[in-house]
Structure 1
Amino acid sequence: MAVDDSMSAAGLDDRVIPFAVPDLDVRGRVVRLGPAIDAILDRHGYPEPVSRVLGEAAALTVLLGTALKFEGRFQLQTKSDGAIPMMVVDFNAPDNFRAVAHIDEAKLVEAIALGKVSSGELLGEGHLAMTVDQGSATTRYQGIVALKGQSLEEAAHQYFRQSEQIPTHVRLGVGTVTTGGRPQWRAGGILVQFMPHSADRLRAADMHPGDAPEGHDILAKADPDGIADDAWMEARSLVETVEDHELLDPTLESERLLYRLFHERGARVFEPVLVREDCRCSRERVLAMLRGFAPEDRKAMIADDGKLGVTCEFCSRRYSFDPAEVEDGLSAGE
């Protein structure tokens, strides 16, 4: 449907709105996460700077995961030397996700004291991997980006330049809104991609014209991806104007935001994708994992009460097993 400025501000959360702007040859998606991301971050009780970074990672993962055209899994994972040495966000197509972060307490205290709490500063140096897994019948695809102190937005741009070679721009926002007497976490994001019918329009302006005046910047009209196309530069510039509060405001619908950005060009929105937080763990999965451990490792895990206990790091659900239950399954050939 077409977007107009008469849409009600119902503040619908936990959904992704795919859209297209035919006049600019761009397609994209807008995500608003409310109760889903609040449940995840509230459950873990991370310090505020860590919650903000994990919220950004979750919004980015949902933006990318909802583009899958099949049932499978999209995973974003970081490993680095910063105060957040690892993050994992799993998106299980078509509609659910989970997220967890590991913290280096000493480095986090130092970073907060120095005011170095941006996503790039907290992650530090390492790598970011994005993995598409369609199941055992197909080969997994993985793209890796080096982390060198850049933001998650910048890392996403690098990923698309290197792995997808599709001009892409992303804006992410995370924050809290006080509702019902307590601050509740919210996260949002918008992604736009340049997909013209003519491949020639994707060519980067990297050839010197030969007769340009000395000192003239031949890439003056090109965007950071080197694409000197007026339509893409307009779309990218418009998305760059999006502010955090526009991505987080529970009274501002995604459709209205798209109208603000593209009303002169005419944006079309498509059927929304509703998303939810949900963990893939189960008693059966944990039991299978335990049976894959070496006997001495399982023995070392037995607690004082004689039980084998496992806590899911994503949802904090606690599973307890009698050691005989694990061993019986092994002897039965399970």
Structure 2
Amino acid sequence: MAQPAPKLGQLDFAGDDHVVPFHVEGLDVRGRAVQLGPMLDAILERHDYPQPVARLLAEAIVLTVLLGTSLKFEGKLILQTKSDGPVDLLVADFSTPENVRAYARFDAEALEAAVEAGKAAPHELLGKGVLAFTIDQGVHMQRYQGIVALDGHTLEEIAGVYFRQSEQIPTKVRLGAAELYDRDEAGKPRHRWRAGGVVAQFLPEAPERMRQPDLPGGDGEQIGHSLEEDDKWAEARSLVETIDADELTDPNVGTERLLFRLFHERGVRVYPPQQVADRCSCSRTKLKAVLSGLSAEEIEHAATDGHIVTTCEFCSTTYRFEVGEVAAA
């Protein structure tokens, strides 16, 4: 017989870089929560992103981690934005069971101009475009992709629209990122990034209770808004909405304490945490296979002094190949 999930206090606290699944039986809600520390800091520090870009990418990483750790199979979940703003590309992917990598592309001049003009909100930096979630189960399985317009002021708002349209499960997402200034063990000043998030979903035994009002039909048309929200989900959603960004990132609060603050009256249960790690999937073997697929003309164009040098955009690892290594193949 399966053992019941422990209540808060029966498990050691998960700490940073561990996703905590939870269940609030009294509200028919399941979800996951996380605080990211050293793993996130390593990814952002590697590229030395400007503050607005780092904050955007941090939230994208949190969202990817929360969703990726829910995969029940061996595979990968990829979050990607493509837009016309100063930050025209965000990519974060999670490979089971725990590997995370991420990258942001931005126009430095356009970013500087936007910040100077006071237009540094997420929707202003991203501009118009799309957010795509891709689930990849391997070469022998068809990919699934869900796409939603970047129609919202924050990534959590955009994610909410995605869940509404694609999964049709009542879902509430909260994301936050913060810079932490403190001192290391030697007393020297240091700067670190932290981020956190919660995703809560309404999953009652009776599926008809999950119904939601239809989205507006456009041109001001309202469709189906007479449908009432389930009382338990309304309570859960309202509780999640009370989470302050500081609570999501404060190392003194922690994931379990935050969940207890939210749901203690309803009896929240937490499950064993799942670790996530800063680990890229690139390798010399994979890159060599890609280069070996180039034509002789392409290889000649890419080579300098008889060598091809390439750097992974995610982890910044540089690989050096002699032309003969790839041309022979």
Q: TM-score, normalised by structure 2?
A: 0.90
2:203 aligned to which of 175, 178, 195? 195
1:133–1:140: 8 Å Cα contact kept in structure 2?
A: yes
Q: Shift of residue 295 of structure 1?
A: 2.2
2:169–2:203: 8 Å Cα contact kept in structure 1?
A: yes
Could you tell which deviates more after superposition, 114-123 or 137-146?
A: 114-123
Q: Shift of residue 227 of structure 1?
A: 5.5
1:115-264 matches, cutoff 5 A? 115-148=118-151, 150-179=153-182, 180=184, 181-204=189-212, 219=225, 228-264=229-265
1:79-98 matches, cutoff 5 A? 79-98=82-101
Residue-by-residue CA offset, 1:246-290 (whole Å, 9 max, x unaligned)? 111112221111110000000010110001010000000110111
1:121–1:149: 8 Å Cα contact kept in structure 2?
A: no
Q: Shift of residue 37 of structure 1?
A: 0.6
Q: Does residue 275 of structure 2 align to residue 274 of structure 1? A: yes
Alignment root-mean-square deviation, CA: 1.8
Q: Shift of residue 3 of structure 1?
A: 3.9
User: Matches of 1:11 and 1:29 in 2, distance apart?
Assistant: 12
1:246–1:257: 8 Å Cα contact kept in structure 2?
A: yes
User: Matches of 1:203 and 1:322 in 2, distance apart?
Assistant: 60
What is aligned with 2:218? none
User: Matches of 1:129 and 1:183 in 2, distance apart?
Assistant: 31
Equivalent AA in structure 1 for residue 151 of structure 2:
K
Change (3 A) 1:112 1:205: closer
1:3–1:259: 8 Å Cα contact kept in structure 2?
A: no
Equivalent AA in structure 1 for residue 238 of structure 2:
S
Give percent identity, aligned residues only.
52
Q: Give the count of matched residue pairs.
A: 311
1:80–1:86: 8 Å Cα contact kept in structure 2?
A: yes
User: Matches of 2:228 and 2:114 in 1, distance apart?
Assistant: 37
Residue-by-residue CA offset, 1:3-26 (whole Å, 9 max, x unaligned)? 447988x68100100001011001
Change (3 A) 1:316 1:254: same
Q: Shift of residue 205 of structure 1?
A: 5.0
2:14–2:20: 8 Å Cα contact kept in structure 1?
A: no
Change (3 A) 1:234 1:45: same
1:15–1:33: 8 Å Cα contact kept in structure 2?
A: yes
Q: TM-score, normalised by structure 1?
A: 0.89
Q: Shift of residue 32 of structure 1?
A: 1.1
Equivalent AA in structure 2 for residue 37 of structure 1:
L
Structure 1 unaligned spans of 5+: 207-217
Q: Shift of residue 148 of structure 1?
A: 3.4
User: Matches of 2:212 and 2:53 in 1, distance apart?
Assistant: 37
1:11–1:250: 8 Å Cα contact kept in structure 2?
A: no
What is aligned with 2:298? 297
Structure 2 unaligned spans of 5+: 215-223
Q: 3-state DSSP class of the match of 1:143?
A: strand
Q: Shift of residue 60 of structure 1?
A: 0.2
2:94–2:100: 8 Å Cα contact kept in structure 1?
A: yes
